[in-house]
């Protein structure tokens, strides 16, 4: 079968590999769609902290089942997967937090992913397609990341939620914060993405920190209360550290974005707010189910995020262009048909 391997930062190579064979506890999938996310882009540029080379990327996927040992799934069924493969034995797994297993293997990050014609995955990772299109199924995982972050934050009705970053993960956070009843404020340095938030997601409040005084705008929006929830989806050290000052007293700050450096804040300012700081890693099956249910109900329409579509044979030549903000990429999708 044909595969695409990131051999070193900045370099892709198409390679031949053996087609996977069925083994106990595994299922063989034919890949139909793969979405590209920030993790893939960071891996290509060499800035992803949990990454080794060479590696086959791809964890946002839609596929057809070729073979499986699970009778609840049928041959030819459209599926996606929960791409966080876990041990089932560690303290996290025993407490129902397989998303942060101590020996986790994320498909396309720690182990080879879906940039291939076929892939073998643990059968427990399969998720029924529920009649969704391949494009929709390939978007379930990034939306689940956002849904998990919102669930971690415990967003409640009518509270102000400041979302840092209007990339695909940030957009998903906004969607599920809105579904939870929050009043969403989008912050990004890219006016095109902020306009997308307004036009496609009906986000009422947007802020560009390069053009506006963020504190003053937030005070105006929140009647001087400031946001009770801040969720970072930038993975940018400066943005993460700078946002502590925007948090309301008693507020919660959730880090979905990931960067390699240190988090830094003024302790008295953090302490006097009795702030809560937490990370949000991956997602759980309940988040995937929430996303699929929301899609089926029309509460979220993520195919509007897809701005670029290419065939599998074109990825090597096109991938680097997706890093350039001038190209307006929100979500790139690879079509294997």
> What does the DSSP assignment read for 209-278?
TTTS-HHHHHHHHHTTS--SEEEE-S--HHHHHHGGGGPPTT-EEEE-S--SS-----HHHHHHTT-EEE
Interior angle at CA 97, CA 95 and CA 101, nearest 5: 105
CA distances from 42 to 50, 57, 133, 141 (A): 10, 11, 27, 18
Q: What is the pLDDT of residue 15?
A: 97
d(CA 16, CA 89) in angstroms, rounded, equals: 35
Q: Beta strand pairing status for 26-36 and 60-67?
A: antiparallel
Q: Residue 239 has what pLDDT?
A: 96
pTM: 0.95
Q: Cα angle at 151 between 38 and 88, to 5 degrees?
A: 80
Half-sphere exposure of 212 (CA within 13 A, CB side): 18
- CA 6 to CA 139: how far, in whole Å? 22
Q: In tens digits, what is the pLDDT along the chain, a chain of 337 residues?
A: 999 999 999 999 999 999 999 999 999 999 999 999 888 988 898 877 777 899 999 999 999 999 999 999 999 999 999 999 999 999 999 999 999 999 999 999 999 999 999 999 999 999 999 999 999 999 999 999 999 999 999 999 999 999 999 999 999 999 999 999 999 999 999 999 999 999 999 999 999 999 999 999 999 999 999 999 999 999 999 999 999 999 999 999 999 998 888 999 999 999 999 999 999 999 999 999 999 999 999 999 989 999 999 999 999 999 999 999 889 899 999 999 9
pLDDT, position 51: 78
CA distance linking residue 217 with residue 210, whole number of Å: 13
- Distance, in Å, from the CA atom of 61 to the CA atom of 79, rounded to the nearest integer, reads 9
Using alpha carbons, select from 30, 35, 31, 22 the residue that is nearest to residue 123: 22
294 vs 289: CA distance, rounded Å? 8
Distance (Å, rounded) from C-alpha 323 to C-alpha 265?
30
| Pair 132, 106: CB distance under 8 Å | no
Q: Give the burial class of 282: count Cβ atoms within 10 A of its Cβ; 0-12 exposed, 13-18 middle, 19 or more buried.
A: buried
Q: 66 Cβ partners below 8 Å, 6+ apart?
A: 28, 29, 30, 75, 118
User: Which pair of structure tokens corresponds to residue 79?
Assistant: 């599926």
| DSSP string over 111-128 | B--S-BSEEEEEGGGEEE
Residue 39 has what pLDDT? Answer: 84
Crossing angle (nearest 10°) for helices 168-179 and 140-153 = 50
**Per-residue model confidence (pLDDT) at position 46:** 84
- For tokens 């989008």, what's the residue? 186
Q: What is the pLDDT of residue 221?
A: 98
pLDDT of residue 251: 98
pLDDT recorded at residue 275: 97
Q: Residues 23, 39: contact at Cβ < 8 Å? A: no
Q: Looking at the DSSP assignment, which residues form a beta bridge with residue 33?
A: 62, 335
pLDDT at 48: 74
Q: How far apart are the first and last CA of the chain?
A: 14
Tell me how far apart the alpha carbons of residues 311 and 110 are, in angstroms, rounded to a whole number.
25
């Amino acid at each position: 079968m044909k595969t695409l391997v990131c051999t070193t930062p900045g370099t892709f190579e198409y390679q031949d590999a053996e087609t996977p064979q069925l083994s106990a506890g595994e299922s063989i999938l034919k890949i139909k769609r793969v979405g590209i996310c920030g993790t893939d882009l960071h891996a290509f540029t060499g800035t992803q902290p949990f990454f080794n080379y060479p590696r086959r990327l791809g964890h946002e996927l839609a596929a057809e089942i070729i073979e499986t040992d699970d009778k609840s799934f049928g041959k030819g069924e459209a599926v996606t997967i929960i791409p966080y493969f876990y041990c089932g034995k560690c303290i996290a797994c025993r407490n129902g937090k397989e998303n942060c297993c101590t020996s986790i293997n994320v498909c396309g990050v720690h182990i080879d992913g879906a940039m291939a014609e076929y892939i073998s995955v643990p059968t427990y990772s399969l998720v029924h397609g529920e009649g969704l299109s391949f494009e929709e199924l390939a978007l379930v995982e990034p939306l689940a990341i956002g849904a998990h972050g919102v669930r971690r934050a415990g967003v409640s009705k009518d509270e102000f939620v400041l979302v840092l970053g209007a990339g695909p993960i940030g957009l998903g956070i906004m969607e599920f914060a809105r579904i939870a009843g929050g009043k969403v404020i989008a912050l990004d340095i890219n006016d095109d993405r902020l306009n997308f938030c307004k036009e496609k997601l009906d986000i009422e409040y947007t802020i560009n920190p390069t053009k506006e005084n963020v504190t003053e705008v937030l005070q105006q929006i929140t009647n001087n209360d400031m946001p009770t929830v801040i969720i970072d989806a930038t993975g940018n050290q400066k943005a993460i550290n700078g946002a502590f000052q925007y948090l309301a007293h008693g507020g919660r700050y959730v880090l979905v974005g990931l960067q390699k450096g240190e988090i830094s804040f003024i302790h008295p300012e953090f302490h006097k707010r009795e702030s809560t700081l937490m990370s949000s890693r991956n997602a759980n099956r309940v988040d995937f189910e929430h996303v699929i249910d929301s899609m089926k109900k029309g509460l979220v329409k993520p195919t509007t995020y897809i701005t670029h579509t290419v065939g599998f044979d074109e990825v090597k030549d096109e991938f680097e262009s997706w890093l350039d903000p001038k190209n307006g990429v929100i979500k790139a999708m690879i079509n294997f048909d």
